[in-house]
A and B are shown apart, each in its own frame.
Chain A
């Protein structure tokens, strides 16, 4: 990953390059700015969700197809919490709104994390090291989770309106930039910073990075990597819950199927980034977010295919993703 002698800058240049290519195509700079901020916001949300999945894969070689459940669960918990906060969300005061939003995010993360603990114990632990069964079992877990959400919240889509002060947009010159998207970029940036700090500056982070590189060596030095893995899995689930809340607010509705829809995006992201690489996941997420917004504006019908085309192009260039993790 990053312990190459110098930083591998080429993949990082892809994000601004994609934005620059889109500039002449979108026509006016103000539209471009709106789309770019939307793309960055979407990318940041997708990154929050994808980071957990890619670490889980890197650390334990577990591919979790059920990650989408945590996304949907987080979003549904947030609808309940926000509905119970009542006046805090309708008041036209940013502070009151945030006072409602942050508890909602925290509760969603806690619930998703708790489910993650149960999911790891019941679904994933019995099938360590068996890829085929993992794919099948976690897919089954995803279906069960989705149906249970339907049992508790009903099968219809539920509106998740933005709090009052976060609606509308700010004018930057001619360009209208939605306030919530700026918030999403800020939260995403904060999560990324916290993650980089944890991974690079703490002992746990050191162990995680070492575990991704070579699990057996870390184990032979006396660390229980399985326990570490449970922690990473729970943290990843909680982050997916947080991402679910943000994704739900971004779309302003939540459906039980949303986990499945977002899952597809996330797979594309972690394949682009290289399975197991956090920085790669960030680049992949930003690329996918930007691409989805540009093509959604230019050619609405092929938006999802554009992301697949992007993935194919990246794989042609680097078959293991932009930042391949060694020994895998």
Chain B
């Protein structure tokens, strides 16, 4: 049963399995375990990032193409929901559904067109073209202020069931861990949890299907895959379309959770960088990497900034150091971390854990220890 659910792609490492189990349980019971508005916000953000990063990993880790337009599709999803609910007279489920469907359609067409254009020639074009298109889209979204709310973004209300004012029970639910308010936020959280779990399992299914194997073959050697009779353009484009659609869904979830959307929350280049970093830290080419990476990253995001504030305070008076160690410069440290992890840690947390597990107990000299089924560090 579990094997089927995970599409036979088990963690293959005792430590990894334990870690994933803890994270799953933690997220599944987050409203009970970590009461408080802020903790729930963090948990929801982790969930949304898991879906977003897992969909990006389909592209980067499994197909081996770099896209800088992933936040664009994320943003399309968020704007779809935001614009639709903002324009509707009363926030209804129909308006929400319409927004999601419209966003999916736009993403589908856009990703298909971009894919057919740029993947036809050379994978390297794709990185440049997606960067250009995403920048243009960001500019457009902040300029068409009648439609998207411009730089200020759009605030909107969600269907009543999902509003914080809606209460399922008058009394807070008494649990052994404390009391929990059964309100609309609670329901929204579980809506997101359910959707993200479904997205994750679907993606796991996709990458472990014959289709996913072809994608990995293209990643390893596109020339050979083409020679074996697979139309690489078609597979790459399909992978791009699938990845874009799941990113759009993640964007819809973000908008529903925040009840607001603007260029900075869903479209900014900084989020693109975050996604890249999470994929690399978690491990490219493993769906589980998305889970581990997202949790680590979202926790570090708040933690590292606090740490920098402390370090900045401690080094006050010294030349230059305080300027380097303010929370404003945390992107700098993120960049350094990113470069270092691409060099020294290319298989990520999941890759490292699996390598350890695959090594026989009495380690032979390094190299040749990985079992044949073990996907070794990928070579781009």
Contact = CB atoms under 8 A, between A and B. Distances in A.
A140 interface: yes
Nearest to B332: A147
A143 B64 contact: no
Nearest to A132: B380
Nearest to B334: A143
Interface stretch (B84-92, B139-147, B248-256): B139-147
Contact of A132 (B66, B135, B331): B66
B140 A305 contact: yes
Interface in A95-142: 123, 126, 130-133, 135-137, 139-141
A271 B342 contact: no
Contacts of B64: 132
A50 to B, nearest CB: 12
B323 A304 contact: no
Contacts, number: 102
Interface in A258-272: 260-261, 263-264, 267-268, 270-271
Contacts of B125: 271
Contact of A304 (B135, B273, B334, B343): B135
Given A130-B380, A304-B135, A304-B139, A140 B339 contact: yes
Contacts of A311: 129, 132
Interface stretch (A148-156, A160-168, A170-178, A193-201): A148-156
A132 B67 CA distance: 11
Contacts of A141: 335, 339
B121 A260 contact: no
B236 to A, nearest CB: 14
Contacts of A312: 117
A287 to B, nearest CB: 15
A135 B127 CA distance: 8
Interface in A277-306: 301-302, 304-305
A260 B276 contact: no
Contact of A131 (B60, B120, B273, B380): B380
Contact of A123 (B133, B339, B380): B339
A120 B245 CA distance: 37
Given A132-B64, A147-B329, A260 B269 contact: yes
A271 B339 contact: no
A271 B128 contact: yes
Interface string B323-359: 1100011011011101100110010000000000000
Contacts of B140: 301-302, 304-305
A136 B124 CA distance: 12
Contacts of B124: 63, 131, 135, 275
Nearest to A143: B335
Contacts of A90: none
A271 B273 CA distance: 23
Interface string B101-143: 0000000000000000100110111011101110110011001
Contacts of B332: 143-144, 147-148, 151
A308 interface: yes
Nearest to B138: A304
A280 B334 CA distance: 36
B338 A131 contact: no
A136 B231 CA distance: 26
A158 interface: no
B343 A147 contact: no
A147 B135 contact: no
Contacts of A140: 335-336, 338-339, 342
B379 interface: yes
Contacts of B329: 147, 150-151
Contacts of B144: 301
A80 B120 CA distance: 46
A295 to B, nearest CB: 12
Nearest to A147: B332
Contacts of A304: 135-136, 139-140
Given A264-B131, A271-B129, A144 B335 contact: yes
Given A132-B64, A141-B335, A150-B328, 14 more contacts: A63-B128, A65-B131, A131-B123, A133-B346, A136-B280, A143-B331, A143-B335, A264-B135, A267-B128, A270-B128, A301-B144, A304-B135, A312-B117, A315-B121
Interface of A: 63, 65, 123, 126, 130-133, 135-137, 139-141, 143-144, 147-148, 150-151, 155, 260-261, 263-264, 267-268, 270-271, 275, 301-302, 304-305, 307-308, 311-312, 315, 319-320
Interface of B: 60, 64, 66, 117, 120-121, 123-125, 127-129, 131-133, 135-136, 139-140, 143-144, 269, 273, 276, 280, 320, 323-324, 328-329, 331-332, 334-336, 338-339, 342-343, 346, 379-380
